[in-house]
A and B are shown apart, each in its own frame.
Chain A
């Protein structure tokens, strides 16, 4: 039943393919001008489609970001504007750094793009002297509202600071400060807080404002080792304005000319322009180098000028038609996806190789032009058609992935393969006919055999040894695959030598508070409610810090007490303060220390009222902080957007000591709506998406390949034989990756799927040509198909191999993985496959009694 069903399918498919190839042969040999005309029209339409397609370089847009940790990560960048800012990292000697920083900041402030300031704001100092009064005003408010700003643990100390003895000591200090040369700057603050109560408030605020590990004694964003200074600037226009971004980078490059310290920069605008340049440079050099190698390989093998020249045209058609068609489905295409061009060069050339190789071989064997071409198109073309389909469909299967990096690349490569195939079928036959008419005296010499005849003989003779050696090698590499690791860090996929990437590394190296950070967001429409829920997260984080799982954390709750903590502070203070008679004691202490009580009346009244104080809405404290130079604390921890408040917690941790799974569970218990993100969580989310895509792609692509092979071959033994090289190749690829220290990442994981399509071609071609012919022809058929497979593998490696040397980690990992896979598949196709076929032939012969047992 199944066999008859399969036979029906196989017959129908083969008949369909043959009819289609017949039609292609007819139309290209009889009406070549019509074919060329229609092709030009299609290319023009594709050009229009490409011109209206937007190309972007944002790596995060390649991954699903509508939910989970990546969404919160991108949201937080959007809320804070951090995604838009430009960061400048100055490195050099301490002596030169500050002066150069001042100069460079001045140049950035003066920088113009199209006659307008290039930056809205350039920040390079932590404190602006012009804000001294607003700072003093805040201190005055804070000391009169300790319930808001003093930690519950310090409430007792605060009350003690208002005892007569403590007040006298504080006033002595205030007098010494006023007398000293620091006095003028401190006068407003002393007037607001004569009893130095700020010492219980400001350290807490300072800690809360610390986003980077900076030298706190410097007014600049200076690293503790004094070797790195950071300047933050807000570009005037959004990153999507690439024309502006390019001009901005030009202006920045001019501004840093002649600097005596090293200045590197990063940020969305800069990364977009620099990465765009890096990717373009990488892809262009890859495309050109692989094209040169591919053409050289083709020419050196076949020694034919016109067919060699046709290959770039075929590839051009494949790329342009693929991009044009993809442009109809996609609103934008990532620059990384342009790497597909290199893949098309590797894959698209294969079809020309197989068809031309057959044509040349038949001509050199004495067949006439039409007969040779018919065999090439109709017979070899059948294998090529199936092979292209087995390559294209697994790639196209990736379009179901919600990981845009995979779906986009899958669509482009799948379409590119199909269009390259049709470009080969449509252009190669007319060109060969034209060439024969133009140069009728052309002699077709036998083609180089690359030692494949000897290899065939050797494998047949020693098939008993080749099979177990191959099996042992596969088993060995299979063991190695169990040691392969997963690389989840997105950083490894970026261009390693790009300036934007290296600048980010420097910030992490010199200025980060801890190796890793977890961001938690508590959200809601009512601030009071958000703060109250944030209090529970606060307690959870404190417990983790005490347990040593977190290094530290920062939050608004560390600076501003919620209602519950305020009540705790007031409860701890009311008793001691009630017996102190603060106003009388303060005025007496001030008079005794030589101060005029009049300027301190407001402060003293505020302190006297503490005995009857009540909790204050946190919104009031937040509004006060925002009016002070400490507004950065609120800007960092409380975001407003989409009609909600987003209270953010930054949890610093070193690595594995934080059990993130347990923390997230406890976080969900503390506040079920709280969200969390970190590089680890984002990597986990992406890994999950990639795994899902990979699984579906593998199943779908594998099913399609299997169906195509089933419809192509008539026996299961042939299918197994043609599939062995690719399965062995996949195992070898993973094993070699493990042995060379490479890991599977988000990008090269797709090679596992695509290698199925690409690698299955090799076995298919060899089995297709060798089986079904007379025994004496098998050797020659193997040499012909093996040569085409060998050249195809080399051209694919030339295409992908060039990626292996790019600076883009994402592309490089794809290049290496594919090279391992294709190289191994080719070797198994040319060495193990003849041995398997020989073993199969002998077994069949034995069954039929043709060979002795």
Chain B
């Protein structure tokens, strides 16, 4: 559960974690662009298209939805029906609602997974790469793609994040070791729009 959120957090973690001996310059550069992008915003909203290819399903599941974020630590993600769901994370409290099923589930995450904690790190420039994962950066024209490959035997094999030169995320891809794959495309991203409390309602 909540792994996509955690992967978002891993991005921040990349910016915050301890250093490797020899940093990849491209990776550092790319991460610093992403970090600046987050550091400069107070909130953002974007439309998303999510494609999930799961071993349990015969076909790829495609959903549309919206994603919202507001500092210091409120994150909201809604996928529209069919298979609709709404997720709200306030600092380290995660609530997920399935409107069609009328189900709501709430849990408290460990503090290292809280949004506020990671946002606090974004004020510091990235000069070193994190331990426990391999990070590569590739720039193609006006976009960057950062590949994050966690070491160990965790479920995530690779995380790819594509963003523009201002740090605006365009695409997020998660590949798992069991070959399940999730791709989220971001469109119509608007930053610092002054999101209100009502934009983060589950009901």
Contacts and interface: CB of A to CB of B under 8 A. Distances in A.
Q: Which size bracket describes the interface of A in this complex?
A: 20 to 34
Nearest to A179: B83
Interface stretch (A185-193, A310-318, A491-499): A185-193
A595 B54 CA distance: 9
A190 B92 CA distance: 25
Interface in A578-622: 591, 594-596, 599-600
A180 B58 contact: no
Interface in A768-809: none
B56 A98 contact: no
Interface in A443-485: none
A99 B87 CA distance: 24
Interface in B56-94: 56-59, 61, 63, 77, 79, 82-85, 87, 92
B55 A181 contact: no
Contacts of A489: none
Interface string A182-224: 1111110011000000000000000000000001011110100
Interface in A300-335: none
A172 B100 contact: yes
A220 B108 contact: yes
Contacts of A596: 55-58
A176 interface: yes
A173 interface: yes
A180 B105 CA distance: 12
A176 B84 contact: yes
Contacts of B24: none
B87 A180 contact: yes
Interface stretch (B1-9, B26-34, B138-146): B1-9
Nearest to A597: B58
Contact of B56 (A172, A181, A599): A599
A183 B52 contact: yes
Contacts of A177: 85, 98
A102 interface: yes
Given A98-B108, A184-B1, A179 B56 contact: no
Contact of B61 (A175, A217, A219): A175
Nearest to A599: B56
Nearest to A100: B111
Interface in B26-59: 50, 52, 54-59
The interface centre, meaning the residue of B58, B103, B180 with most chain A CB atoms within 10 A of its CB, is B58
Interface string B178-192: 001010000000000
A187 B101 contact: no
A432 interface: no
Contacts of A179: 50, 52, 61, 63, 79, 83, 85
A217 B77 CA distance: 20
A178 interface: yes
B176 interface: yes
B107 interface: yes
B58 to A, nearest CB: 5
Interface string B106-129: 111111100000000000000000
Contacts of B100: 172, 176
Contact of B4 (A98, A99, A181): A181
Contacts of A190: 56
Nearest to B103: A173
B96 A182 contact: yes
Contacts of A599: 55-56
Interface residues of B, number: 40
Contacts of B23: none
Given A176-B101, A182-B2, A595 B111 contact: no
Given A98-B110, A102-B111, A182-B2, A187 B54 contact: yes
B18 interface: no
B57 A181 contact: no
B106 to A, nearest CB: 5
B13 to A, nearest CB: 16
Contacts of B108: 98, 215, 217-220, 222
A217 B96 CA distance: 12
Contacts of A125: 110
A307 to B, nearest CB: 69
B110 A102 contact: yes
A210 B84 CA distance: 33
B84 A182 contact: no
B56 A185 contact: no
Contacts of A181: 2-5, 77, 85, 87, 96
A191 to B, nearest CB: 6
A600 B5 CA distance: 27
Contacts of A182: 1-2, 85, 87, 96, 105
A180 B55 contact: no
A173 B98 contact: yes
B56 A217 contact: no
Nearest to B5: A181
Contacts of B155: 184
A98 B109 CA distance: 10
Given A179-B61, A183-B54, A184-B3, 11 more contacts: A98-B108, A102-B112, A172-B83, A176-B83, A176-B84, A181-B77, A185-B2, A217-B107, A219-B110, A220-B108, A599-B56
Closest 8 CB pairs of A and B: A185-B1, A180-B85, A184-B3, A179-B83, A218-B108, A181-B4, A182-B1, A176-B83
7 contacts: A98-B110, A125-B110, A175-B57, A175-B83, A176-B83, A219-B109, A596-B57
Interface of B: 1-5, 50, 52, 54-59, 61, 63, 77, 79, 82-85, 87, 92, 96, 98, 100-101, 103, 105-112, 155, 176, 180, 182
Interface of A: 98-99, 102, 125, 172-173, 175-187, 190-191, 215, 217-220, 222, 591, 594-596, 599-600
